[in-house]
Amino acid sequence: MVNPFQFGKVVRDKQFCNRQRELHDLTSTIKSGNSLWLYSPRRFGKTSLIINVFSRIENVKTVYFDLFNIRDNREFATKYLNILTHELFTWKHGVTSILKKLSDYLKNVTPTVSLDAIGNPSIGLDIKPKEISRTIESILELPQKLNYPKPICIAFDEFQEVERLDPFLKNIMRSVFQHQQDVSYIFLGSKESLMNAIFSDAKSPFFQFGDKMNLGPISSSDLTSYIKSMFNETKLPIQQSTIENILQLSECHPHYTQYAAYVAWDLIFQDIPQNDNFKDIWLSRIIESQSDAFRTIYEQLNANQRKVLYALSDLNGQSILANDTMIKYNLPPKSTINTALNSLLRKTLILRSNGSYKFENPIFKIWINRLYD
């Protein structure tokens, strides 16, 4: 029997949990021809969300492009052109026809075609350094120039990476995108400060370009129903107390809920009884599986960062900058605490929400807390 819970990958269909409101809002935005930017912390399911929206929407041509592993603007140009070519061109007319069309659209560069290891065609570009910006501009203009028979929606995942690729790239994008008709964009990102700088800073070319959507935790009631349905499909019993333990650990974070439920399912499949010892067995299995990675992270932190992490793991809503908290956990001066907090934020070990701080990974929180017990 196959474990029904999936983590660390895009989930589709019945593995995709709820998000009905977000599915509706994104679909409505796309069908209206409007653009939108979406922020969520890592592993909150933003990629799964947009992939599921794209798979369900009708009468719109959708294109997905992930910027995370793009090394520079030259690679951006080549890979984005390949995505557009494969999604928007009709290959039945042959490679020669495709190359001719591309040559007409890309005035500054001559495209070539080669076959990859499994025989799929790949477009290549020999771009002179002085022509890179103009070539990118021409590629960005393609969706509009093609006169595609349907509206087009293009999703850029991890969009904050444009700052790393080339700070001027977003200027080129905005200058092209603002004039396009029947082409809309969804910009997804996982680094809040960078996404806010791109879309909320009045000096940024993308200032107020599209509505904003935040992707938060899934409700405990929806996750409870989801977990029950997955166990029912595999005809395994799960007690309400086990579900409550899963959601208490994961804090309703989609990724960690899937992982915690995965481990619980595996133990129940092995006929481990859901008695008073089950929680300890389950929690130990979860923590042990990640302890080596956690220790590597911990060893790279300085003393003040470690103190701050422990305090955050042990606090129940109190401010880490409160005098009583600083005394209880033997914390350094407030300026040093803030320096440590900012460093932990940059490392994405913690998140800031409504003026308070929380662990990005709730399992790491438990590991840190146990380390000091």
When pLDDT is cut at 50, 70 and 90, the band that residue 280 belongs to is very high
In a domain, 130, yes or no: no
Give the domain CATH number at 56. Answer: 3.40.50.300
In this structure, of 41-50, 155-164, 226-235, the range with the lowest mean pLDDT score is 41-50
Q: Are residues 225 and 210 in the same domain?
A: no
Please, how many CA atoms are within 13 Å of residue 117, restricted to the half-sphere of its CB?
Answer: 0
- The verdict on residue 3 lying in a domain is no
* Domain-located, residue 99: no
Total residues found in the chain within this entry = 373
- pLDDT value, residue 212: 94
Residue 344: predicted pLDDT: 96
Instruction: Name the residue type at position 131.
Output: E
Residues 278 and 336 in one domain: no
pLDDT at 258 over 90: yes
Q: Is the pLDDT of residue 217 over 90?
A: no
Establish if 129 belongs to a structural domain.
no
The answer to whether the CB of 119 falls within 8 A of the CB of 109 is no
Q: Which residues of 250-276 are buried (b: 16+ CB within 10 A; e: fewer)?
A: bebbbbbbbbbbbbbbebbeeeeebee
319 and 182 together in one domain: no
The label of the residue with tokens 């200032």 reads 207
- Select from 189, 214, 239 the last residue of a domain: 214
Tell which wins on pLDDT, 124 or 31: 31
Residue 266 lies in a domain: yes
Question: 280 and 335 share a domain?
Answer: no
Cα 134 from Cα 35, distance rounded (Å): 24
In a domain, 5, yes or no: no
* Pair (313, 354) in one structural domain: yes
Q: DSSP letter at 188?
A: E
> What pLDDT band is residue 114 in, cutting at 50, 70 and 90?
confident
pLDDT for the residue numbered 102: 87
202 and 224 together in one domain: no
The H or E element spanning position 66 is strand 61-66
Given a contact cutoff of 8 angstroms between Cβ atoms, the answer to whether 261 and 28 are in contact is: no
Model-level pTM greater than 0.75?
yes
Q: pLDDT of 196-215, one tens digit each?
A: 999 999 999 999 899 999 89
For residue 41, being part of any structural domain is answered with yes
Task: Single out the residue in 296, 331, 347 at which a domain terminates.
Answer: 296
Q: Does 316 lie in the same domain as 357?
A: yes
314 and 347 assigned to the same domain = yes
Looking at residue 105, what is its pLDDT?
86
Contact 85, 123 (CB under 8 A): yes
Answer yes or no: do 290 and 326 share one domain.
no
Domain containing residue 177: 19-91+135-214
Instruction: Count Cβ atoms below 10 Å from residue 92 Cβ, excluding itself.
Output: 6
Instruction: Note whether 243 and 166 are same-domain residues.
Output: no
119 assigned to some structural domain = no
Cβ-Cβ contacts under 8 Å for 248 (sequence gap 6 or more): none
Q: Which two tokens stand for residue 58?
A: 């009708």
**Are residues 196 and 232 both part of a single domain?**
no
> Helix-strand-coil percent breakdown of the chain, rounded to 5?
55, 10, 35
Question: What's the total number of domains in the chain?
Answer: 3
Q: Based on the fold, state whether residues 271 and 348 are members of the same structural domain.
A: no
| CATH code of the domain in which 320 resides | 1.10.10.10
**Got the DSSP string for 138-187?**
HHHHHHHHTT-SS-EEEEEETGGGHHHH-TTHHHHHHHHHTT-SSEEEEE
Q: What is the pLDDT of residues 282-318, one digit of tens each?
A: 999 999 999 999 999 999 999 999 999 999 999 977 8
